[in-house]
Structure 1
Amino acid sequence: MIKRNLLVMGLAVLLSACGFQLRGTGTTELAITELDLSARDAYGETVKALRDTLEDSGVKVYSGAPYKLVLTREQQSQRSLSYAGAGRSAEYELNNVLSYEIRGQNNLVLLDDKLQVQKVYLHDGNNITGSDQESSEVREEMRRDLVQRMMLRLQQLSPAQLDQLQQTADAKAKAEAEALEAARKAEAETPQQSPMQIPAE
């Protein structure tokens, strides 16, 4: 028994040394200490849960912060995996996709990505109320998973990476502005053709 406990402890130490953390444990420290957060659905459950998690992790969430996390779209879908007739059990797959952007200075997009969570649950035709409750609980669990995955994504962003992404976005915006200006100048310098005169007979 003691040997087994020592083995478990030894494995836990080794895994933590590799940077591995059990789900729901460990630190959620972020390099981003200030963040502006917005969403298409400003009063949605996902953005509220994410705001609470960020603030619990020591991130100051306010309008005008150096970086902005924008939840651009959240899509929920459901499809039947199996159907067994009226009053029988059926399997459903729930799918939740969260699209987001991270914006930097001058509101330039630094990162554009999405997160996806899938769950399968059993719908009992003989217990519709219980099945509906289970569906709601599964969706709530999926929302927690999305928030946790977003936190993991944010944890992976270092100040150096953000600086590099900002430089790339600045360079792209500058190149686009110069191309637009060059096109405008070229159009202005091109002589306008006068309407063709048709000689009178």
Structure 2
Amino acid sequence: MIKRNLLVIGLAAVLSACGFQLRGTGTNEIALKELDLGARNAYGETVTQLRQTLQNSGVKVQAGAPYKLVLTNEQDSQRAATYSGGSRSAEYELTTVLNYEVQGQNDAVLLADKLEVRKIYVYDGNNITGSTQEATQVRQEMRRDLVQGMMVRLQQLTPEHLAHLQRKADERARAEAEALKEAQRIQDNTPQQSPLEVPAH
């Protein structure tokens, strides 16, 4: 039997702190009404579900939007949590970590963070097929949890906040460009040493 609903405590805290509405009990109100969406795996299940959820929440997901959400990496892992003595059953902890970025103009990274979800299921060595199906179902539930967690993160973003981050990114880019330009000027104005001449004997 699966031990369900064991999310990462941090994610659960975020969900409750933000007053997140469960499916069927409310709407996911997002201040951003237009967003581009990309992923390392452009046709993966996570980005596909997220795109659909965003669209269902009234967000236009399209290229050319002022900001872009990029799912940069998604990693699944599994480890043994407990063993049952004398039997062939064991508890396994499944973990999925999703790294993401929000990009602005000129592909500037405005923020980067990650989401992490964990769940535990029981593997029964006497029922391998059933256990495999259970693991697959748990992974699907975890993916849904990731999508809902991402919606919570997006609810916290406003155009004003992202515009502020964009200004800071532009300032950094200008400062780096000026520093590079100054370094090049110094190099250009520094006399180049001539090769040493070896006296003829």
* Length-normalised TM-score, structure 1: 0.87
CA distance in 1, matches of 2:18, 2:96: 28
User: Which residue does the alignment assign to 2:79?
Assistant: 79
CA 1:111–1:20 in structure 2 vs 1: closer, same or farther (change >3 Å)?
same
CA distance in 2, matches of 1:200, 1:20: 86
The structure with the largest alpha-carbon Rg is 1
Amino acid at match of 1:132: T
CA distance in 2, matches of 1:65, 1:194: 54
User: Which residue does the alignment assign to 1:127?
Assistant: 127
**CA contact under 8 A between 1:93 and 1:118: conserved in structure 2?**
yes
Matched, 1:138 2:129: no
How high is the sequence identity, in percent, across the aligned residues?
A: 62
Amino acid at match of 2:22: R
CA drift of 1:176 comes to: 1.0
CA distance in 1, matches of 2:119, 2:18: 27
CA drift of 1:22 comes to: 4.7
Amino acid at match of 2:68: K
CA distance in 2, matches of 1:184, 1:66: 33
**CA contact under 8 A between 1:34 and 1:59: conserved in structure 2?**
yes
**CA contact under 8 A between 1:91 and 1:120: conserved in structure 2?**
yes
**CA contact under 8 A between 1:51 and 1:61: conserved in structure 2?**
yes
**Deviations for 1:47-74, whole angstroms, at most 9, x for unmatched residues?**
0000000001011011111110000000
CA distance in 2, matches of 1:165, 1:28: 23
**CA contact under 8 A between 1:86 and 1:125: conserved in structure 2?**
no
CA distance in 1, matches of 2:19, 2:65: 31
Amino acid at match of 1:120: I
CA drift of 1:86 comes to: 8.2
CA distance in 1, matches of 2:198, 2:98: 62
**Deviations for 1:58-112, whole angstroms, at most 9, x for unmatched residues?**
1101111111000000010000112347862100000000000000111111011
Amino acid at match of 2:139: R
User: Which residue does the alignment assign to 2:5?
Assistant: none
User: Which residue does the alignment assign to 2:58?
Assistant: 58
* Length-normalised TM-score, structure 2: 0.87
CA distance in 2, matches of 1:186, 1:129: 69
CA 1:22–1:32 in structure 2 vs 1: closer, same or farther (change >3 Å)?
closer
CA distance in 1, matches of 2:89, 2:112: 40
Amino acid at match of 1:70: V
User: Which residue does the alignment assign to 2:169?
Assistant: 169
**CA contact under 8 A between 2:76 and 2:96: conserved in structure 1?**
yes
SS at match of 1:27: coil
Gaps of 5+ in 2: 1-16
CA drift of 1:19 comes to: 6.8
Number of aligned residue pairs: 184
RMSD after superposition: 1.6
Runs of 4+ in 1 over 4 A off after TM superposition: none
